[in-house]
Structure 1
Amino acid sequence: MSSPITLKAKSPIQEAIHNLSEDAGALYAPAVLEELRSMRSKDPAAFARLRIQVKETKMLSMAEFDRLTVSAESEAGAAAGQSIFADVEPWSKPVDGAELLDDVTHALARHVIAEKETLRAAALWATFTWLVDVVQIAPIANITAPEKRCGKSVLLTALGKLVNRPLQVSNIGPAALFRSIELWSPTLLIDEVDAFLAAHEDARGILNAGFTRDSAVVIRCVGDDHIPTPFNVWGAKALCGIGRIADTLADRSVPLRLRRRTPGESVENLRHSDPALWEQLRSRLARFAQDNSEAIGKARPKPIEGLNDRANDSWEPLLAIADQVGAHWPKSARTAAIALHGLEGDAPSVGVELLADVKAAFESRNASKMFSADLLEQLVADDEAPWATWNRGKAMSARQLSARLADFGIKSKDIRLGSINKKGYDKSDFRDAFDRYLSADTPSQSATTRHAYSHKASSDFPSATEGVVVTDEKPLQPSNHAGCHVVTDKTPPARKGAGKAKATSHDETDREEF
């Protein structure tokens, strides 16, 4: 180890080091800090030796010491790194918020195929990124589609042209992720999120933590001495991937569902779009946020009846924006929320699905008690249920069943049927869980919510290539004979306990032109 630097006996730095045992802030007195910063800037070798001396005292966090001794020149250099974000000049005059949102929606509709609810939700979310400093909830934009080539990456790129401080981070580790959020407060745009989270499972906790402002902090050990250090992870995030994301992320998201283009549908190439269009929209968004941030920050929209608490939380800032701009947007935003989250709500969690199948098993045998083996036999007999292949292609085990049911406070016990006494379950022990999680309006996984849309271009947006506004003279009706494709699985009689699917409410008369 190198010898500690030798300073003059009266050196303020040496005196401060000597006093650390009695005064932990001695080295951070203004005059001492100034001398440390000067040494670090002009004589890095001397500073390195001094740093060893400070570390050996074991009185300070070296991460904090390193941060506070950065010179003004170094700080300026770090600030210059923020130039990765293009400067946006706010529009020279106040903007009409409803007209702005219509224009953003129309710009997105020119490049992706989606229902108007998805496009309007995307426009509201893009606007929210300019107001992230005044709202209390930061919903994730979850861009999803059932298959490849549905335009997910195109929508993510288009949002990148609209949002405040966009940062594409598809290939980034968790450590760089939370440091980037704290340093730059960007709007994160993460493509192929399924592969990203598979490689970086720790990143999911970082993304989850940024949902509410008061909980947007993660603690990580940093520095040579591994001092636990808080990092702020508050900010806007957009995720793009195929299929469902983790429930914890989906719960904090606004789902933006896309579909594959058919031969009768056309879109413009985003790479060939006019940069001036996106620049103008960003400028207008910046001005809108500047003029309306105070009102939107104070807004407390009334929750939407029928949505769960987390979905209402996600829509709070979007509804605040919609209510502020007025015109058709308050109604359109709520219609979009019901349509998008109504669809998402049709798939119960694995736990609720298991409860439904357990209830069906008891009912099919008209039993009040069942041995564990008999209950498992009944569960795995259903080819459409996941239990037959639950254990890496093999049937669910008794231990796995017990662990899942324990989440609901249900445990196996010794039961007697006839002359046989074995481990099993009493139906009465499930009564509370059935009442709480399998109510009459619990969605069934065996039916797909009806849509009032065909697979053709039924949106009220103009064709991207023809340049003609197409309005609906006769709004579509949710009829089985007019563009409404109802997909219903044939549900075995034993699975009636899952409840009935709730129909999604759509506003069939709200058909604005853009």
Structure 2
Amino acid sequence: MTETIDGAALLDEVEAFHRRFNVFPHEAAYVAVALWDAHAHLLDCFDSTPRLAFLSPEPGSGKSRALDVVETLVPRSMAAADASAAALFRSVAGIDGGRPTILFDEIDTIFGPKAGDNEQLRGFINAGHARGRVMYRCVGDGSNQQVQGFPSYCAVAVAGLGSLPDTILTRSVIIRMRRRARNEKAEPFRTRIHIREGNEIRDRLAKWAESVEKQVAGAFPALPDGVTDRPADVWEPLLAVADAAGGEWPHRAREACVTLVNASRANDKGSIGIRLLTDLRDHVLIGIDRLPTVAILDRLNALDDAPWADLNGKPLDNRRLSRMLGDYVTAEGDPVVSRNIRTAGGVLKGFFAKDLEDAWARYCPPPRSATSATPLHPSSEQLNL
């Protein structure tokens, strides 16, 4: 008779194993990481797999230790810090065995300012989140080469300093690690002892995954309100795992989802274009429907904690402002362009708030309160509009 495995109790064990060696920043992180470990055993049930990213601003924050523990719990773990792109293609394609779970430590060496020539690895990590994606490479010798598609779909966990490109961040469960405080304790991870303990839990995760595979494959879990688009793609597999496990996990998973999605949004500074749109809305075009370009630049360049006064050593000028805003369109679908504004001193080129309203609604975070979004007064003489 096949032994029935209690999924909720098993996930409790996974979480407890992490808690012994890892100090995560909040409860939601323990829930998310345990679910991610389990989802790696059910990869073929999902349309996509979220990346798991342990990031911190400084070394010594427990990122590598978190990967060490994950490594013991996931199927066919492959530490790939120094793996070539060719080795990864062969591994994920199953040429040298089953599909691995890829673990990248020091991911900043691939995506950071000192990344160098790692374009193939970057492409691999970007492409492999969606089932069915392949990467095409020429194989063979000399002139006898053929184009071959290599599957790239696999679970990937990374750890590194700083941040990651938006293409990775938006597809990731992000755990922002920090150094342990003096009152935060963690058990030392002893490789000879604890790998064996983690592998025992891993093997039971694999058996449980087999027992719920059909249930998970047909699941479309309910998502918390407001979790849509990329965050929904990230969390749907993890919520499906939680629902299959039962117990408190469906509730805890959705609480963790809301916590981490909100944290990700709060930390999302957006592109330089979104920053420009947001500053125009929150600091420049407040209570007025139009403003000449000269006054807009004056206000933007006077903002504290904003990049406009020093863009690669130069302040934002009218040419770059026009070029950046021209990437967006009005509600009618026309590019945002400067228009004539009649002032007391004559006709000047400038921008209308109405032309930017559609871009504000589509791209910017919710507006600040009226008290915190007070317009600055330009240092030049106020124009009479």
Counterpart pick for 1:380 among 293, 301, 307: 301
1:276 to 1:222, Cα distance in 2 relative to 1, 3 A? closer
Which of 75, 89, 98 is residue 178 of structure 1 equivalent to? 89
CA deviation digits over 1:302-349, x for unaligned, max 9? 122122321111111111111011000000000111111111111341
Answer yes or no: is the 8 Å Cα contact 1:304–1:312 preserved in 2: no
The answer to whether the aligner puts 1:96 opposite 2:6 as a matched pair is: yes
- Is contact 1:161–1:278 with CA below 8 Å preserved after alignment? yes
Cα deviation, residue 352, structure 1 = 2.6
Amino acid at match of 2:374: P
Alignment CA distance shift 1:405-1:413 (3 Å) = closer
Task: Name the CA distance, whole Å, in 1 between partners of 2:103 and 2:6.
Answer: 27
8 Å contact from structure 2 (residues 284, 299) kept in 1: no
Structure 1 partner of 2:199: 279
Report the Cα distance in structure 2 between the residues aligned to 1:123 and 1:349, rounded to whole angstroms.
Answer: 29
Query: Is 2:217 the counterpart of 1:297?
Result: yes
List per-residue Cα deviations over 1:124-169 (Å, max 9, x = no partner).
1011111112222211111122332110110011101111111111
CA 172–359 in structure 1, closer or farther in 2 if over 3 Å, else same: same
What is the aligned counterpart of 2:182 among 263, 280, 284? 263
Shift of 1:230: 2.1
Q: What aligned pairs does 1:271-350 form with structure 2 within 5 A after superposition? A: 271=190, 273-346=193-266, 347-350=268-271
Q: Greater RCO between the two (CA within 8 Å, min separation 6)? A: 2
Change in Cα spacing, 1:142 to 1:275, as seen in structure 2 (3 Å) is closer
Q: Specify which of 331, 340, 344 is matched with residue 415 of structure 1.
A: 340
Match of 1:213 among 111, 115, 131: 131
Q: Displacement of 1:203 after TM fit?
A: 2.9
Distance 1:274 1:304, change over 3 A: same
**Residues of 2 paired with 1:232 and 1:130: CA distance?**
18
Contact 1:369 1:415 in 2 (8 A): no
Checking the alignment, whether the CA contact within 8 Å between 2:110 and 2:122 is kept in structure 1 is: no
Gaps (5+ residues) in structure 2? 330-334, 377-385
Q: Distance in 2 between matches of 1:378 and 1:99?
A: 58
Q: CA deviation at 1:423?
A: 4.6
Structure 2 letter corresponding to 1:494: P
Distance 1:364 1:178 in 2: 53
User: Which of 274, 277, 280 in structure 2 is aligned with 1:355?
Assistant: 277
1:170–1:196: 8 Å Cα contact kept in structure 2? no
Identity of aligned residues (%): 34
Count of matched residue pairs: 355
The residue number in structure 1 matching 2:106 is 192
- Tell me which amino acid in the other structure corresponds to 2:16: H
Distance 1:403 1:149, change over 3 A: farther
Q: Contact conserved, 2:269 with 2:275, CA < 8 A, in 1?
A: yes
**Counting strand residues as a fraction of each chain, which structure ranks higher?**
2
Separation (CA, whole Å) in 1 of partners of 2:128 and 2:105: 18
What are the superposed Cα offsets for residues 401-433 of structure 1, whole Å, 9 maximum, x if unpaired? 334323322433352443555553222211211
Aligned to 1:129: 40
CA 493–134 in structure 1, closer or farther in 2 if over 3 Å, else same: same
Task: Give, in whole Å, the separation in 1 of the partners of 2:171 and 2:367.
Answer: 20
AA at the equivalent of 2:74: V
User: 1:93 Cα deviation (Å)?
Assistant: 3.0
Q: In structure 2, what is the Cα distance between the partners aligned to 1:106 and 1:404? A: 50
Partner residue of 2:62 out of 126, 133, 151: 151
**Contact 2:283–2:374 (Cα < 8 Å) also in 1:** no
Aligned to 1:483: none
CA-to-aligned-CA distance 1:196-227 (integer Å, 9 cap, x gap): 1233244333222222214x222334443464
User: Whose radius of gyration is greater, 1 or 2?
Assistant: 1
The answer as to whether partners of 1:160 and 1:189 remain within 8 angstroms in 2 is yes
> Amino acid of the residue matched to residue 366 of structure 1?
I
Asked if 1:252 is matched to 2:178, the reply is no
Alignment of 1:462-501 (within 5 A): 493-494=374-375
Corresponding residue number in structure 1 for 2:381: none
SS, match of residue 344 in structure 1: helix
Q: Describe the SS at the equivalent of 1:287.
A: helix
Q: How does 1:1-80 map to 2 (within 5 A)?
A: none
The normalised TM-score by structure 1 is 0.64
CA distance in 1, matches of 2:308, 2:177: 30
Deviation of 1:231 after TM superposition, in Å, equals 2.0
How far the C-alpha of 1:367 sits from its partner, in A, is 5.1
CA distance in 2, matches of 1:332, 1:260: 25
Q: Which amino acid aligns with 1:385?
A: A
1:163 maps to 2:85? no
2:383 corresponds to: none
Partner of 2:332: none
| Aligned-partner Cα distance in 2 for 1:231–1:382 | 49
Q: CA deviation at 1:189?
A: 0.6
Contact 1:412 1:423 in 2 (8 A): no
- Answer whether contact 1:219 1:228 (CA < 8 A) is retained: yes
Match of 2:380 in 1: none
Q: 1:162 to 1:211 in 2, by over 3 A?
A: same
If the length of structure 2 is used for normalisation, what is the TM-score?
Answer: 0.84
2:350: which partner in 1? Answer: 424
The equivalent of 1:433 in structure 2 is: 359
Judged with a 3 Å threshold, the aligned counterparts in structure 2 of structure 1 residues 428 and 179 are, in CA distance, closer, same or farther, namely same
Residues 242 and 400 (structure 1 numbering): CA distance in 2 closer, same or farther, change over 3 Å?
farther
Cα distance between partner residues in 2 of 1:290 and 1:364: 58
Whether the aligned pair in 2 keeps the contact of 1:181 and 1:234 (CA below 8 Å) is yes
> Paired residue for 2:316, among 393, 396, 399?
396
Q: Answer yes or no: is the 8 Å Cα contact 2:282–2:373 preserved in 1.
A: no
Deviation at 1:398, TM superposition (A): 3.8
SS of 1:213's equivalent?
Answer: coil
1:370 aligns with 2:292: yes
